[in-house]
Amino acid sequence: MPSPYRALFAAPGSKGFSAAGFLGRMPLSMMGIGVVTMISQLTGRYGLAGALSATMALAAAVLGPQVSRLVDQYGQRRVLRPVTLFALAAAAGLLLTAHFEWPDWLLFVCAAGIGCVPSIGAMIRARWAALYRGTPQLHTAYSFESVVDEICFIFGPIISIGLSTVWFPEAGPLLAACFLAAGVFWLTSQRATEPVPHPREQHTGGSALGSAGLQVLVATFVATGAIFGAVDVVTVAFAEEQGHKGAASIVLALYAAGSCVAGAVFGLLHFRGAPERRWLLGICAMAVSMIPLLLVGNLPFLAVALFVAGLSIAPTMITTMSLIEQHVPRAKLTEGMTWVSTGLAVGVALGSSVAGWVIDAAGAKAGYGVPAVSGAVAVAVGFLGYRRLSRPAPQRGGSHEHHSEREERHVA
């Protein structure tokens, strides 16, 4: 591991909460695809499987920021443990309902309950921020977390699909639930690195989404999420048309691998200048990288094109986290990070739905027009909201201790 990354873990407790965060994040990439695989195997109803996956995503989009807001107010341990127990109970209900063929409405109730799974990535980034706020190490920490995210998305679906198809249908979601329980309870047992809650500031200040800068980031990432959701669905359909449906997981893993490589390199670099300019450049790069997908004619070309497209993802996400820190008070940092994840989740649901409709109407190759259009929308929103991002954040009552200028000099 390069020395900047190794230096991150000199802080006491950092190895422990990072490892716990890795376990707790695995369900993010395992649960949805695991439920789709399970339901399709048990019932053969792909429509039901997709509807349940969308229900979980939309429930997470609604409940996730509220859970994170409570975390900012009362602390990670007090909130995450009961919320996770509720999500685990909902997951158990879903598995039992599917196994014993209970009514479909109960499946949807349980799927909605799973949506309250906490955003573990936001919890870990909040701990890094508490350790390294205002220092160059925070940029490296956010880069490391983006790499961890991509590792989860590379291996999580492969593990979940493999277990559900080779062992028994419920195996993938069951292991995802075990990862969630182990990760959350291990993380919340580490009190020394838990960020200090801000009950008074959180109660009186309203939602983090009141920040104009955060509104721009969330709106842009709805369009960005549509890119991700559409690419996933269209790639599976394209691989099936090519007669190699099983190769879709490898091609999509290369998409995540490109982001993983770029994130690792990005964390070793230190930039000068305004981070919002780099953010807008990243959004533009993501949009432009969708154009070659319209020209794909075979799976090898698609694999190369997606790997290149992935190179812009992690750097853009890393810069986004730095911008959230500048535009959201410390008392609402976890909630602010979760709102971006919410925007992505909504976008993924929209992108996958629209892409499916286009595929049915015009074929898989035409489906790549959906991420291309989504990228153009992301660029348009980014340009329209750029002035809000570049505008100095209002006085935050000392919550940030005026660290943003230091971050721009040293980190950004």
The per-residue pLDDT for range 352-361, each reduced to its tens digit, is 778 878 887 8
Q: Which amino acid is at 123?
A: M
**Number of domains comprising the chain:** 2
Q: Which amino acid is at 381?
A: V
Residue 201 within a domain:
no
Q: Is the pLDDT of residue 149 over 50?
A: yes
Q: How confident is the model at residue 348 (pLDDT cuts 50, 70, 90)?
A: confident
Whole-number pLDDT of residue 202 = 47
Q: What is the mean pLDDT of residues 65-85?
A: 91
Residue 305, CB-side half-sphere exposure with 13 Å CA sphere = 19
Q: Are residues 329 and 220 in the same domain?
A: yes
Rounded Cα distance, 142 and 125, in Å: 7
Rounded Cα distance, 20 and 108, in Å: 29
List pLDDT tens digits, range 184-196.
999 999 999 988 8
Q: Are residues 180 and 247 in the same domain?
A: no
Whole-number pLDDT of residue 355 = 82
Residue 29 within a domain:
yes
Q: Are residues 151 and 255 in the same domain?
A: no
Residue 158 within a domain:
yes
Q: What is the mean pLDDT of residues 315-322?
A: 86
Of 231, 254, 238, 248, the C-alpha closest to 352 is 231
Q: What is the mean pLDDT of residues 142-168?
A: 82
List pLDDT tens digits, range 39-50.
878 887 766 777
Q: Are residues 32 and 173 in the same domain?
A: yes
Residue 196 within a domain:
no
Whole-number pLDDT of residue 44 = 76
- What is the number of other CB atoms lying within 10 angstroms of the CB of residue 357? 12
Q: Are residues 250 and 175 in the same domain?
A: no
Residue 5 within a domain:
no
Q: Is the pLDDT of residue 180 over 90?
A: yes
Single residue among 190, 225, 257 that ends a domain in this structure: 190
Q: Are residues 173 and 286 in the same domain?
A: no
Q: Are residues 227 and 137 in the same domain?
A: no
Query: Domain range for residue 364?
Result: 207-393+401-412
CATH number of 182's domain: 1.20.1250.20
Whole-number pLDDT of residue 133 = 82
Q: Are residues 268 and 155 in the same domain?
A: no
Rounded Cα distance, 116 and 205, in Å: 23
Q: Are residues 46 and 169 in the same domain?
A: yes
Q: What is the mean pLDDT of residues 229-247?
A: 80
Q: What is the mean pLDDT of the chain?
A: 83
For the chain, counts of helices (H) and of strands (E): 19, 0
Whole-number pLDDT of residue 395 = 43
List pLDDT tens digits, range 330-345.
777 778 888 888 888 7
Whole-number pLDDT of residue 305 = 94
Whole-number pLDDT of residue 381 = 94
For the purposes of burial, counting CB atoms within 10 Å of the CB of 80, is it exposed (0-12), middle (13-18) or buried (19 or more)?
A: buried
Rounded Cα distance, 235 and 252, in Å: 8
Residue 6 within a domain:
no
Single residue among 125, 156, 190 that ends a domain in this structure: 190
- In this structure, of 155-159, 163-167, 173-177, 313-317, the range with the lowest mean pLDDT score is 155-159
Single residue among 130, 162, 190 that ends a domain in this structure: 190
Q: What is the mean pLDDT of residues 240-261?
A: 82
Q: Are 176 and 34 in contact (CB under 8 A)?
A: yes
Residue 7 within a domain:
no
Q: Are residues 181 and 216 in the same domain?
A: no
Q: Are residues 251 and 137 in the same domain?
A: no
Q: What is the mean pLDDT of residues 292-304?
A: 90
Whole-number pLDDT of residue 393 = 55
Q: Is the pLDDT of residue 401 over 60?
A: no
Q: Are residues 328 and 370 in the same domain?
A: yes
Q: Is the pLDDT of residue 276 over 70?
A: yes
